Amino acid sequence: MKEFRFSLENSPGALAEVTSALGEERINIEAIAGIGAGEEGLIRLVPDNPGKARRVLADLGIEFEEKEALAIDVPNHPGELATLLRRLATEGLNVESCYAGVEKNKLFLTVDQVDQAKRILRIA
């Protein structure tokens, strides 16, 4: 899966414009995180069709970065996230982003060492 990282103007409707354009192209958002930071909104988005999403963002004039994202099913119990993150930290991996997906108990991560994280977490 691919995570798209970009900034938007922190103003009413800015994110709605992007999500509307993705929806018009029948692109489903698997996960999204956003936070306002002054005049900008920082967005992380995982679409079901990276190729089409790449085109839509480019057509909107949005500069973005792409990073491989890991989708992980995490049981909804106290301490599960801490256990998972501790496993990565013990192996020296840095988590760059972490947020919930739209499906229940689905967690999305980006890390600095994707192949090693896949091995540690037993992700194909």
- pLDDT score at 111: 96
Do residues 24 and 42 share a domain? yes
Do residues 18 and 64 share a domain? yes
Do residues 76 and 63 share a domain? no
**Greatest CA separation for the chain:** 43
pLDDT over threshold 90, residue 123: no
Task: Tell me if the pTM is above 0.85.
Answer: yes
How far apart CA 11 and CA 121 sit, in angstroms, is: 38
CATH code of the domain containing 80: 3.30.70.260
pLDDT over threshold 80, residue 124: no
49-50-54 Cα angle (round to 5):
125
CATH code of the domain containing 59: 3.30.2130.10
Do residues 116 and 103 share a domain? yes
Instruction: Compute how many other C-beta atoms are within 10 angstroms of the C-beta atom of residue 73.
Output: 10
Do residues 98 and 112 share a domain? yes
- pLDDT score at 122: 87
Q: What are 33-49's pLDDT values in tens digits?
A: 999 999 999 999 999 99
Q: What are 86-121's pLDDT values in tens digits?
A: 999 999 999 999 999 988 889 999 999 999 999 999
Compute, in degrees rounded to 10, the torsion defined by CA atoms 97, 22, 51, 39: -40
Residue numbers of the domain that contains 89: 70-121
Contact status, residue 100 vs residue 30, Cβ threshold 8 Å: no
Please tell me the total count of domains within the chain.
2
Task: List Cβ neighbours of 8 (8 Å cut-off, separation of 6 or more).
Answer: 14, 15, 18, 40, 41, 43, 62
